[in-house]
Structure 1
């Protein structure tokens, strides 16, 4: 396996500086999109246009951030996209920004030689928050394309939230389901994300349990480190 290309100091500084603005832009994007979907027909056209401007402005922030990181990485576009595929997908589909919790989980896994409970607990907390944000975004998207479709069973936002919860939990009661091609495409994405988030939480919890049991075994053996590939 080839070694991961390290980030340049300029890229690391830019990413640290942009953490706050990107989080704020994500919330503005989601809020603007939610208001346009849920308050359509209740607000004046001026307010709806303002929400649309906020949505596109936030999207522009994501695109500029990606372009700057591409320039600072000193990699060509194909290599940068391959090494940051999730970021590229998020730029195209900003509603998927909660999926970036995967990068946090990846950092924890790379530090498995020195695991800390705070890191594993943070992954589980981030996964839960990601599931909530992604579920809300998915419910908005499905409601947007489904509620007026012929033969649709998802008529209200409450129906959409119920369907999204069942889909993310991989339960799938089947009482309501999308009928449009775009709605079904969102459903496939939510199914995959539900499985991935569940795997992140259970994997982190299992790793923490193994860590605890290993420590107990070491104390039981008088502090002698265990044999095997995990021994330091």
Structure 2
């Protein structure tokens, strides 16, 4: 078993685990669970964490140079370790974003649109969950319903910030910072991709124009040759 093969095998199962975590976490936050339902949701959340933990150590074991893999994948370690803290659980959803990005590829055609729309919707939804989870029971909190949390998330990711709802906890403000950075990053992706597409179109137009010009020159040269031959026959 190689590391590349392991990645191919586990890519979608890990995405499924992240999606299962999202369902359990959304259920827990939106329904404000307690009792047996809370135990079920927490069990699912911790089981998905175990899946990511196993994946991390298997990757470390399969890496040709384990020390190099370790210090070049510190972000993967953070995704595994930091979600043990409740406010940082949503780091597991980075797996979904990474799969979306690989699926999108470098092409502009509808794939990037799918990636941006999917990543944007995921960021808004998860940020709304995280903000509601952090703010709901805080003194003087404005974000105390899921509808308000979603509205706040849309305001923040678009960097509009009307200010009608603002986080009052440190965790809520940290979520806001991450959401704003995510919104700016997605705007950068769209802008860069559009610019790349325009450059490609301009370059293709120039290539087509040059090809047409070469064809015209060849046709003109052929006509000149025919006229020369005709003149030579007449003069002979």
TM range (shorter): 0.7 to 0.9
For residue 140 of structure 1, the aligned residue among 129, 147, 169 is 129
Answer whether contact 2:19 2:93 (CA < 8 A) is retained. no
Q: Quote the Cα distance in structure 2 between the aligned partners of 1:12 and 1:156.
A: 43
Partner of residue 91, structure 2: 96
Task: Tell me which of 52, 62, 83 is aligned to 2:52.
Answer: 62
Equivalent-residue separation in structure 2 for 1:48 and 1:213 (angstroms): 57
Asked if 2 retains the 8 angstrom alpha-carbon contact of 1:98 and 1:130, the reply is no
d(CA) in 2 for partners of 1:123 and 1:85?
Answer: 27
Instruction: List runs of 5+ in structure 2 lacking aligned partners.
Output: 84-88, 214-236
Residues 106, 39 of structure 1: alpha-carbon distance in 2 compared, 3 angstrom cutoff: closer
Q: Distance in 2 between matches of 1:216 and 1:85?
A: 44
Moved segments of 4+, more than 6 Å: 106-109
Change (3 A) 1:126 1:55: same
Aligned in 2, Cα 1:89/1:170: closer, same or farther, shift over 3 Å? farther
Shift of 1:65: 1.0
Comparing both structures, which one devotes a greater share of its residues to helix?
A: 2
Give me the CA root mean square deviation.
Answer: 2.5
Do structure 1's residue 17 and structure 2's residue 6 form an aligned pair?
Answer: no
CA distance 1:153–1:73, change in 2 (3 Å):
same
What stretches of structure 1 of length at least 5 have no aligned partner? 1-8, 110-114, 225-232
1:81–1:139 distance in 2 versus 1, CA, 3 Å? farther
Q: If the length of structure 2 is used for normalisation, what is the TM-score?
A: 0.78
The answer to whether residue 22 in structure 2 is matched with residue 27 in structure 1 is: no
Q: Tell me what 1:191 maps to.
A: 180
1:170 and 2:159 correspond: yes
What do the CA deviations read for 1:34-66 (whole angstroms, capped 9, x no partner)?
A: 11111125xx62222111111111111111111
Cα shift readout 1:105-158 (whole Å, capped 9, x = no counterpart): 58988xxxxx6445xx42332122112112211111110111211111112111
**Distance in 1 between the 2:13 and 2:200 partners?**
36
1:207 maps to what in 2? Answer: 196
The structure with the largest alpha-carbon Rg is: 2
Change (3 A) 1:40 1:108: closer
State the number of aligned residues. 206
1:153 is aligned to 2:142: yes
1:50 aligns with 2:61: no
Residue 71 of structure 1: aligned partner: 61
Does the 8 Å contact 1:98/1:134 carry over to 2? no
Matched residue, 1:6: none
Q: 1:104 to 1:76 in 2, by over 3 A?
A: same
Structure 1 residue 201 displacement after superposition: 2.0
Report the Cα distance in structure 2 between the residues aligned to 1:117 and 1:86, rounded to whole angstroms.
28
SS at match of 2:62: helix
TM-score by length of 1: 0.79
Q: Distance in 1 between the 2:13 and 2:158 partners?
A: 31
